[in-house]
Chain A
């Protein structure tokens, strides 16, 4: 297994953000981590990255416990989220150079130009990061995420600020990476159609717990408790969110 999450729990005081979560991700899989806001997806991703320490449980990546092998593991993985940023006064090129050095990339200039071209931001490379649009900053984050040619990629809503055409282009790149290099991807998104298209398997979370996992059709059938021929993750999402709202109102 590439990722093994074993009884992972995170408590902030009395609030349980992630509650006894266990799952595994196989090499080369694209797995979607879904759920309404506050389900515990981002906290889980942050624990996988070591940014938040778990209250209980263990994270193993590439077969090794994260805490004991943090640097070795993080050298082979990467992460991006449109909600984190880069220093605004530095140009796109300078920001990417910093991360190229961080990952000890050979021929960093060539790599940066190659990635900028891949994501269509080569013309912005000399611009300060602060002057970019949201869609452009998302693409800089994706360039950073592919800088070290990671075996494992954690993507938190990678297409959130992208227009449909660029989002489709980005999804194409990610699918090609998975196909050609066997990159494993753990993916969160609120775009259910995108998740159905991209992910081999879904882990659906609510209130910090996993409520269903499997292929999109299996998750649809489990949560809606109906026989379906086609996945309907949008309906599943609305169903879970409504159930949650009802519980909170009660």
Chain B
């Protein structure tokens, strides 16, 4: 991998983020809107008597971390869709740029974009709802890492599917994370799921991140178990995503789809 080609990819997507209102909205508007809506909801719940202590923190923390996961997964796929929509793929891949260099550049830009959205949401949660996520960050960081790794694996798989099935399935970029939300136990503990769904939820690194986050907020400390499970599952999904992407990319080259995607 050559650094200057990774930098070129970073430049391309940074320029796009600066010039494209859709990307600015994606980056800040949705995370902020989510935290405002859920913040009001938690205020309403907080007035009731049945609210368990710490529930507001659980919910707001979960919304901030889910926003990070969703944004990272979406931006990986949308970054690639930007090349398709602008008919830039042939220009890019007729240079020495490799797929791994391109993906590395895209990941770097998307980490910054997701962090910007998460910071905006966290500041609003702190300013408006007195939920301060920042002291918890050191304990949250491993779970955030797991969320981003899983989002990356999903983003790679979705990008591969777009290579093969073109923009016909571009809606997956925005919708796929939503499919996982009910099983990821974002706002409720794993044990509240029907027992038949619990093993499926257990196989998602997102579930372990949110379970781990709740343990930190409940004062139970950092959960090595949830972090370890999440990391091991991510390693498995990541290897699968890379193998799948390589196979589908070669298949797209063989079918001539790389030039027909234009």
Contacts and interface: CB of A to CB of B under 8 A. Distances in A.
A71 B93 CA distance: 10
Contacts of B232: none
B88 A87 contact: yes
B114 interface: no
B4 A87 contact: no
Interface string A47-67: 001111101000000000000
A74 to B, nearest CB: 4
Given A90-B19, A102-B4, A84 B91 contact: yes
A89 B87 CA distance: 13
B86 A98 contact: no
A52 B15 contact: no
B98 interface: yes
Nearest to B262: A84
A148 to B, nearest CB: 9
Interface in B39-98: 82-83, 86-88, 90-91, 93-98
A101 B253 contact: no
B95 A81 contact: no
A209 interface: no
B250 A101 contact: no
Contacts of A87: 12, 15-16, 82-83, 86, 88
B259 A52 contact: yes
Contacts of B82: 87
B256 A70 contact: no
Nearest to A76: B96
A70 B259 contact: no
B95 A103 contact: yes
Nearest to A52: B256
A63 to B, nearest CB: 18
A50 B262 CA distance: 16
A12 B88 contact: no
B192 interface: no
Contacts of A98: 8, 11-12, 15
B195 interface: no
Interface of A: 10, 12, 17, 42-43, 46, 49-53, 55, 70-72, 74-75, 78-79, 81, 83-90, 94, 97-99, 101-104, 128, 144
6 contacts: A55-B254, A70-B98, A83-B262, A84-B90, A87-B12, A94-B11
Interface of B: 2, 4-5, 7-8, 11-12, 15-16, 19-20, 82-83, 86-88, 90-91, 93-98, 250, 253-256, 258-259, 262
Q: What 6 A-B pairs are tightest by C-beta distance, nearest first? A: A101-B8, A102-B8, A71-B96, A85-B87, A74-B96, A87-B86
Given A51-B90, A102-B95, 9 more contacts: A51-B94, A51-B259, A53-B250, A84-B91, A85-B262, A86-B86, A89-B15, A94-B15, A101-B4
